Amino acid sequence: MTTVLLADRDGHALGPLAEKTVPALLPLRGAPILERALESLVSAGIRSALVVVGPRALEVEKRFGKGIRWGIALEYVRREEDESTGAVLRRLEHRLDGDTFVLRGDAAVEGAFGEFVARAARRAEPVVAAVSGECLLGMWRIRPEALKKTELPRDPADADWILDKGHVPLDVDLDVAPLDGLPRWCALDRAEGKPVLSPRAIVAGSAKLTGGTTVAEEAVVLGKATLDGVSVLPRTAIPEGVSLSAAVVSQNLVVDPATGATSLLTDLLPAPRAPRGAGLGSRLAGLVLFLLSLPLWPVALVWSLVANAGHARRPYSFAGNGTKPGTREPVQTFRFETAIPVFRDLPLLLSVLRGSLALTGVAPLPPEEESNASAPWTAARREAPVGLLARSRMVVPASAPPEVARVLDAFDSRNGCRGLVALGLTTFFSARAWTAPRSWNPDGLPDTEK
């Protein structure tokens, strides 16, 4: 017996989220749909599978690796752009041993996997297809002699998602239906009716989550945010004090799953403020920090020399604070050549002493990126000074796209960058300040991820 797990759908059924993700990676109660499929396969006694991937194939492979974490051996097969599912199976025919179970791992029907595998194994027909009532589920058992003529539909959202002539239906006697769009996914995601958080999400204690809100891995919800029936997708940060209801949030995109209507998280920005500069107090605080940091400078220098074969520093330029509040001027400085954030950024204290960096503010950007921040919400960052301590630098996941950090900068500009000194002290005594960002290891065992 061979198991082929299909994870090759594009995101067109997800409407506005199509450019952000694909169904295999879409979180379901905090974990990707494909991860829940793998767990169900293992529960059904399946220990190996060929995974067919299509759009965002590299992301899928990076997220799931060889399957070690789930106790299943995975091998990946790339589907060509115009290749049908039947053509993929025929291309793999020399690797298929005996009966082939073809299971769609990105349709959120994993709860029926075990029942179908057990019952279909006892059937003699060439092709057996799982159904629930009249609904095709996306699971087939195919005899070797039937492979050459078998064609299988790909997407439950398409018109060809029907039981093929010659395929024998097998009702799994379970109330399940495949994911065919945002409303269906939203109902599944919030089915528990209570907040569900990924173990790899960060949620402030003062945030209020109700109505089946879910927060996916590598997502951040900051203090005093109020989320009622909201799905927060991976690599998204919800700023402080934001209030949302019945929505899906991916980076800066907010989607109403019932209607498909879209808006931006930055549409919730407070009213504009008068631009603020660094001030004398910021320089004095920078002087104190510089004096306290002096013992770290020789350590950082030696560390960088050893780690980089004698090259201790690298040039660094950013758009710093100008002479007038709200203006920016190019600054040329350097950083130590190390992945340890505290050591790397020590030279930026010199910019705080000169006033081109404030102690707290928005994150510094390269001059060309700062000058291109012309959209109203990105331009809001000029209402605050550029600071050494920026919330976006301290809380946004390293894997998040730059847009996520810019969103937090925009909100901090309008909210006044409150609490950054306390956050900076907390960060200084955390692993984030002293170690390089640790990426997800799909082939590490769960009990090693502490």
For the beta sheet containing 237-238, the strands, ordered from the edge strand earlier in sequence to the opposite edge, are 202-203, 220-221, 237-238
Looking at the fold, whether 231 and 178 belong to one and the same domain comes out as no
* Residue 344 is assigned to a structural domain of this protein: yes
Looking at the fold, whether 175 and 38 belong to one and the same domain comes out as yes
Residue 450: its pLDDT value, please? 43
Nearest to 222 by CA among 443, 354, 104, 394: 394
Residues 219 and 236 sit within 8 Å (Cβ to Cβ)? yes
Q: What 3-state class would DSSP assign to 444?
A: coil
Looking at the fold, whether 35 and 85 belong to one and the same domain comes out as yes
Looking at the fold, whether 157 and 205 belong to one and the same domain comes out as no
The Cα diameter of the chain in Å comes to: 83
* Residue 441 is assigned to a structural domain of this protein: no
* Residue 418 is assigned to a structural domain of this protein: yes
Residue 448: its pLDDT value, please? 53
Looking at the fold, whether 161 and 82 belong to one and the same domain comes out as yes
CA distance 222 to 431: 19
Residues 400 and 237 sit within 8 Å (Cβ to Cβ)? yes
Looking at the fold, whether 118 and 256 belong to one and the same domain comes out as no
Looking at the fold, whether 78 and 9 belong to one and the same domain comes out as yes
CA distance 358 to 165: 70
Last residue of a domain, one of 153, 182, 211: 182
Looking at the fold, whether 173 and 199 belong to one and the same domain comes out as no
Residues 241 and 256 sit within 8 Å (Cβ to Cβ)? no
The count of other CB atoms within 10 Å of the CB of residue 403 is 15
* Residue 443 is assigned to a structural domain of this protein: no
Looking at the fold, whether 289 and 376 belong to one and the same domain comes out as yes
User: What's the one-letter identity of residue 348?
Assistant: L
- Buried-exposed string 338-368: b where 16+ CB fall within 10 A, e elsewhere: bebbbbbbbbbbebbeebbbbbbbbbbbebe
Looking at the fold, whether 368 and 305 belong to one and the same domain comes out as yes
Which residues on neighbouring strands pair with residue 262, listed in sequence order?
A: 255
Residues 343 and 392 sit within 8 Å (Cβ to Cβ)? no
CA distance 385 to 5: 51
* Residue 11 is assigned to a structural domain of this protein: yes
Range of the domain at 246: 194-268
The count of other CB atoms within 10 Å of the CB of residue 224 is 13
Strand duo 313-321 + 328-336: pairing: antiparallel
* Residue 46 is assigned to a structural domain of this protein: yes
Reading the chain (450 residues) residue by residue, the pLDDT tens digits are 999 999 999 999 999 999 999 999 999 999 999 999 999 999 999 999 999 999 999 999 999 999 999 999 999 999 998 999 999 999 999 999 999 999 999 999 999 999 999 999 999 999 999 999 989 999 999 999 999 999 999 999 999 999 999 999 999 999 999 999 999 999 999 988 999 999 999 999 999 999 999 999 999 999 999 999 999 999 999 999 999 999 999 999 999 999 999 999 999 999 999 999 888 999 999 999 999 999 999 999 999 999 888 899 999 999 999 999 999 999 999 999 999 999 999 999 999 999 999 999 999 999 999 988 778 899 999 999 999 999 999 999 999 999 999 999 999 999 999 899 999 999 999 999 999 888 889 998 876 554
- How many domains, the chain? 3
Last residue of a domain, one of 219, 238, 268: 268
Angle at 407 between CA 405 and CA 408, to 5 degrees: 65
CA distance 325 to 16: 38
CA distance 325 to 18: 40
Residue 198: its pLDDT value, please? 96
Looking at the fold, whether 116 and 86 belong to one and the same domain comes out as yes
* Residue 340 is assigned to a structural domain of this protein: yes
Residue 362: its pLDDT value, please? 96
Predicted structure pTM score: 0.93
Looking at the fold, whether 9 and 158 belong to one and the same domain comes out as yes
Last residue of a domain, one of 152, 182, 212: 182
CATH number of the domain enclosing 170: 3.90.550.10
- What spatial distance separates the first Cα and last Cα of the chain, rounded to whole Å? 37
* Residue 220 is assigned to a structural domain of this protein: yes
DSSP 8-state assignment for residue 445: -
Tokens of 151: 């064609």
Tokens of 431: 């692993």
Nearest to 217 by CA among 206, 230, 231: 231
The count of other CB atoms within 10 Å of the CB of residue 12 is 14
